[in-house]
Structure 1
Amino acid sequence: MKFLYDLLPVILFFISYKFYGIYTATAVAIATTLLQIMIALITKKTVDKMLIFNGFIITFLGGLTILFQDKTFIMWKPSVIYWLLSAVLVISALLFNKNLLKKSLGTQIKLNDKNWSRLNIVTAVFFVLLGFINLYVAFNYDENTWVNFKLFGITGILFIYMIFVTIFVSKVSKE
């Protein structure tokens, strides 16, 4: 259920886009994300860092999209998010000797430090590649194709990546 809740801004963006176009869809995505942040503040008293991060990026790039009536900004959003996530994973590991994947998933997944490092590197590279794939679709195909890719393509790619991670974890957790 949390997965669908997290996807809500993207789903509402998609639906709004189909009926009203990219600028209305962008406003809906901004409003939905900010509403999720407010709901989290009211019900949990704390807000997930990823939600705040996403809220900042969607508000900034979405705001520029609406202000300048230029869809380029919103098309960059997934890439910016994936590249920043990749940078955070790499920088935290290299400069601070902290594996954020291990910190967030370590209670659920049992791996040795070597395999946590592998998973961290592979995930960082995956996010870089996903950012480039998003830009490739955004600037080589029409707007409608990009919107469909944003919901179905990226979600599908993330799902496939999670399958590979699950296979990797099940293989190396026996070591």
Structure 2
Amino acid sequence: MKTLLDFLPFLLFFGAFKLFDIYVGTAVLMAATALQMFVVYRMDGRLQTMQKITLLLVLVFGTLTLALHDERFIKWKPTVLYAAMSIALAVALWGMGKNVLKLMLGGQLELPDRIWHRLTIAWVGYTAFMAAINAYVVLYYSTEAWVSFKVWGYVFPLTFLIAQGFYIAPHIKSGDVPHDGASQ
């Protein structure tokens, strides 16, 4: 259920873009993301920091896109989000000596510190890569191509998450496997 909920705003955006245009798609994305966060809040009783940031960026960049009738804003939103994540993780790790991933997930998953450190470095690299590749597509391709990239570009996060799962699997104790309660 939660996985479908995560993809629903994008799927609705894609459908609205294909049926209408980027502006209708943007309005649908804004409404669907707000609804998604409302449902998540009702289910979990709170929103995680990244969910709040995502909602804020979708609403701000979406509003700018619609108010100024300029599609560049919604197209640059992923670059801003990924770059901010990369910078925040890097500054926290190397500038402040804090491992944000461990702080956020350490209560759900027990891993050795060196694994948390490597995961954080991997996330810094991954989010920097995603920011750069989105920027490249925005700068050098049409809006139609950018939307197609957003659809087919899901291969990057899926590949990264699967690889991450394989990497941490040997370090997870049998009682540490996180679950959402549905698979008990």
TM-score, normalised to structure 1, is 0.88
| CA deviations over 1:54-89 (Å, ceiling 9, x no partner) | 111011111111111111111101111111111221
The more displaced of 108-117 and 138-147 is 108-117
Paired position in structure 2 for 1:116: 116
Work out the CA distance in 2 between the residues paired with 1:37 and 1:21. 24
Paired position in structure 1 for 2:48: 48
Percent identical across equivalent pairs?
34
Question: RMSD between aligned alpha carbons?
Answer: 2.0
Unaligned runs of 5+ in 1: none
Unaligned runs of 5+ in 2: 174-184
Normalized per residue, which structure has more helix? 1
TM-score, normalised to structure 2, is 0.84
Cα shift at 1:171: 5.1
The more displaced of 138-147 and 9-18 is 138-147
- Aligned positions, number: 173
Cα shift at 1:165: 1.1
Work out the CA distance in 2 between the residues paired with 1:80 and 1:165. 23
Work out the CA distance in 2 between the residues paired with 1:48 and 1:24. 28
Work out the CA distance in 1 between the residues paired with 2:116 and 2:51. 24
Give the counterpart letter for 2:155 in structure 1. Answer: G
Work out the CA distance in 2 between the residues paired with 1:47 and 1:82. 19
Paired position in structure 2 for 1:168: 167
The more displaced of 85-94 and 116-125 is 85-94
Cα shift at 1:128: 0.7
Change over 3 Å in CA distance of 1:42–1:116 after alignment to 2: closer
